Amino acid sequence: MAKAAVVGANGYLGGELLRLLSYHPQIELTAAVSRSQAGKTVGEVAPNTERFSDLVLEAEPDGIDVDVAFLAQGAGEAMKVVPSLLERGIRVVDLGPDYRLPDPAEYARVYGREHTDPGHLAEAAYGLPELFGDSVRRARLVANPGCYPTATLLAVAPLAQAGEIAGRVVVDAKSGTSGSGAQPTSSSHHPEAALTVTPYGTPDHRHAPEMAAALARLGGTAEVPLVFVPHLVPLVRGILCSIYASPVAGVDAGRWPSLFESRYSGSKFVRVGGVPKLPWAQGTNRCYLSVQFAGGSPVVFSAIDNLGKGGAAQAIQNANVMLGLDETSGLLHPGFGV
């Protein structure tokens, strides 16, 4: 039984990690860390979890002795503790943004702070196993992708790698308010978000450079210009992307569903079929892809749970791969359905 720690256990992603790990047959939570909730038990912070309810939360991760640590923290936090964790032989899955961008100068530009651990930044694997599984398997440090990049890249990368996209790709993305984190903001606060749809993050959302960097990692013809516009919608969890891409001359986009099916034939977590519904994905590690046509032009739909495949569930998938476990272990439960 592998031992795990969750650092940042009181946020939405931390709470989802606690919930999902309570299902896991091969990973035991032996440490949970939260500065604001230190001294409380997991049962007090997350009453929906039974398995680890008596575990007491610690204030810092300094003394933890585990096989893998999940860091569910904001920008700038992970790089403070990753060097020490790696030095002690602990594998790390960082759910924050600190290790997603390979260029420290780009990180400083996007997040407004210097990267203080550029050495480990260079070795971090980008944790989208369907696209970078070999790197994740060899890694001791994984940068869990952002939620929007996960939904976008699973849809765009196969087409880009096959050289089937011409020109810009427009990503019209909509996410539930849990993607903004547990701390209310002026835009995610319920009275502001409940009865409206709000575009945000323009002209340059922080996830756009992450997507560009991931496509560049794939090499070949994978680099494509993305026009990315996210929207906040009055849902708690879930992301739906409507992606508009033109095929190169001579390519029939009618074959794109079969291209997706071939690319993800070995995946337990990517489903290709009809227009997806968010409840299919909510609570799961699955991505639902579909190719439809509007006015003769292809539209690719991608649906995930921002806290699941876009966050905590994918982090557990990455840990499974890193630890040599079955990739699906603890992650095959169904979605909500409605």
Residues written for the chain: 338
Tell me: do 117 and 171 sit in the same domain: no
At 136 the pLDDT is: 98
Average of per-residue pLDDT across 252-262: 96
Average of per-residue pLDDT across 252-275: 96
Average of per-residue pLDDT across 115-141: 97
Which residue, among 205, 263, 211, has the nearest Cα to 231 in the 3D structure? 205
Which residue, among 99, 47, 106, has the nearest Cα to 75 in the 3D structure? 99
Here the CATH number for the domain that contains residue 72 is: 3.40.50.720
- CA distance linking residue 232 with residue 239, whole number of Å: 10
**Model pTM score:** 0.96
Tell me: do 9 and 86 sit in the same domain: yes
Query: Above 90 in pLDDT, residue 5?
Result: yes
Tell me: do 300 and 152 sit in the same domain: yes
Sheet order of strands, 165-175 included? 198-199, 226-232, 165-175, 239-247, 297-304, 287-294, 270-272
β-pair partners for 199: 231
Please state the domain count of the chain. 2
The band of 222, judged by pLDDT with boundaries at 50, 70 and 90, is low
Query: Above 80 in pLDDT, residue 221?
Result: no
- CA distance linking residue 227 with residue 311, whole number of Å: 23
Tell me: do 191 and 246 sit in the same domain: yes
Out of 147, 151, 222, 304, pick the active-site residue.
Answer: 147
Active site residue 241: no
Q: Does a structural domain hold residue 59?
A: yes
Q: Does a structural domain hold residue 133?
A: no
The band of 313, judged by pLDDT with boundaries at 50, 70 and 90, is very high
The amino acid occupying position 112 is G
**Cβ neighbours of residue 59 closer than 8 Å, sequence gap 6 or more:** 33, 34, 35, 38, 39
Q: What is the pLDDT of residues 156-211, one digit of tens each?
A: 999 999 999 999 999 999 999 998 777 777 778 878 888 899 999 888 889 999 99
Tell me: do 187 and 299 sit in the same domain: yes
Q: Give the burial class of 185: count Cβ atoms within 10 A of its Cβ; 0-12 exposed, 13-18 middle, 19 or more buried.
A: exposed
Q: Does a structural domain hold residue 130?
A: no
At 131 the pLDDT is: 97
Q: What is the pLDDT of residues 45-80, one digit of tens each?
A: 999 998 999 999 999 999 899 999 999 999 999 999
At 181 the pLDDT is: 79
Domain residue limits at 52: 2-123
Task: Please list, residue by residue across 133-151, b when 16 or more beta carbons sit within 10 angstroms of its beta carbon and e when fewer do.
Answer: bebbeebbbbbbbbbbbbb
